[in-house]
Amino acid sequence: MKYLYLDDEQIQLTQDIVELLESERDDLEIIWSQPKSFGEEIKRLKSEVYDGLMLDLRLDQKSDAEYRAFSLAQEIRTRATEGTMKDIPIVVCSTDRKLKASYNKDTSGQDLFDRKYLKTKDLGDDSKTVANELVSLAKGYALLSSIKSDLKGKGVQLDKFLLLNDSQLKFIDKRVFEFFNKYKTRLPIHEYASFVFDKLIIPPGILLDKGNVLARLGVDENSPELEELLSKINNYKYKGAFGDHWERWWWPLIENWFSSKSNFKLSFMTAEERVDELKRIVKLEELKSAKALASNYSSKFWALCEFYKKPLDPYTDGVVLEEDNLSQPWQENRYISMKAALDVGSKAAGLIPHPSEKEKVKAFSKILKNE
């Protein structure tokens, strides 16, 4: 996967980033360049083949460029929509100061980028994850493009982009497919990519990551036969764009599979009861049930504590997080435990309870003090 990296810093300041990211993946190539004039940059992107684009937020400080990342990204997206340029993932890589100065204040412009990275924290300290994400984004765009080119007939056909078969479709919230009903023709790849990534993969809901799936099944993440269990539900794993790095499972399909083999409803059962039933269903006797965060917490898990990354019963022991990206009915809230809500580290990590939970947290804090 070949990325063009535009940054107006001198090469010695960017070469370390490029080499570090490339060292993490054999299938990742990053070509650094000082930004050219706007017209020249568009001409280069039209004539040379890249699988992705990395942009410093401010391209106009130490170069001849008369534009910033927002302007270039907008032009690329517009031309991709018109079909005159290849649609590729665009990520912004900048300093915390620059992001706070402009990126964080321009919420409409943020939609132009697939991911944002801090140069020091993300590109330096977590280079393996960033490299994996860059490759996954590029492969995801390529997959969506391939599916789109193979489609017959007209319309959006979102189910084809999600790689679901007809027998699976009936278990998926129909509102997911109604999202694009207002469009009569197919959309540019970045629109599909944005929907899949921002509306399905990132927020929990009909797609869940491994931690949330195991919490709902009541299974300890360190169970000896965990991989065998995951292989049993592999048919319900999301196989579409970006799923190679952001692993997700279709929860409605897993829930239907369980209910088809059991007379019990998962959400009514404790972790111990769920695992006992799973042992009977999948014949894996070494599965272990997950334990609650505290001795007085419920084990009717249905979420993860986002701070401690441990299974949680959100209805009795959880606090809803304040988030602004839950815009669709199939998306679910994320939670932290009461214990985490009182841990100063959770606030530092950006996990802020929703304002409606303020009195709940205050009452819990008072109880602890009295004890």
pLDDT value, residue 284:
97
Say if strands 310-312 and 335-337 run parallel, antiparallel, or are unpaired.
Answer: unpaired
Nearest to 303 by CA among 188, 209, 215, 371: 215
Work out the angle between the directed axes of helices 271-282 and 210-217 (0-180°, nearest 10): 100
State which H helix or E strand residue 118 sits in.
Answer: strand 115-118
Q: What are phi and psi of 335, to 5 degrees?
A: -135, 160
Percent of the chain at pLDDT > 90 equals 69
Which of 21, 83, 19 is CA-nearest to residue 46? 83
Instruction: Check pLDDT > 80 for residue 155.
Output: no
**What pLDDT shows up at residue 105?**
46
pLDDT for position 103: 47
Spatial distance between the Cα atoms of 273 and 330, rounded to a whole number of angstroms: 27
Mean pLDDT for the stretch of residues 219-229: 96
Task: List pLDDT tens digits, range 60-82.
Answer: 877 778 888 999 999 999 999 99
15 or 292, higher pLDDT: 292
The continuous run of DSSP H or E covering 3 comes out as strand 2-6
Q: pTM, whole model, 2 decimals?
A: 0.91
185-215 pLDDT, tens digit per residue, is 778 999 999 999 999 999 999 999 999 999 9
Confidence of residue 8 (pLDDT cuts 50, 70, 90): confident
Distance CA 200, CA 215 (A): 19
CATH numbers and ranges of domains, the chain:
2-140 (3.40.50.2300), 152-201 (no CATH), 304-371 (no CATH)
Q: Tokens at residue 368, please?
A: 């602890």
CA distance 258 to 255: 5
Whole-number Å distance between alpha carbons of 300 and 302:
7
H or E segment to which residue 95 belongs = none
- Taking the alpha carbons of 258, 259, 264, 265 in that order, is the dihedral positive or negative? positive
Q: Are 254 and 233 in contact (CB under 8 A)?
A: yes
Strand locations in the chain (E): 2-6, 29-33, 52-55, 90-94, 115-118, 207-208, 249-250, 303-305, 310-312, 318-320, 335-337
Write out pLDDT tens, residues 309-331. Answer: 999 999 999 999 998 778 899 99
What are the tens digits of pLDDT across the range 97-150? Answer: 555 545 444 444 578 999 999 887 777 778 999 999 999 999 999 999 999 888
User: What confidence score (pLDDT) does residue 364 get?
Assistant: 84
Residues in Cβ contact with 223 at an 8 Å cutoff, skipping those fewer than 6 apart: 229, 286, 287, 288
Q: How high is the pLDDT of residue 96?
A: 57
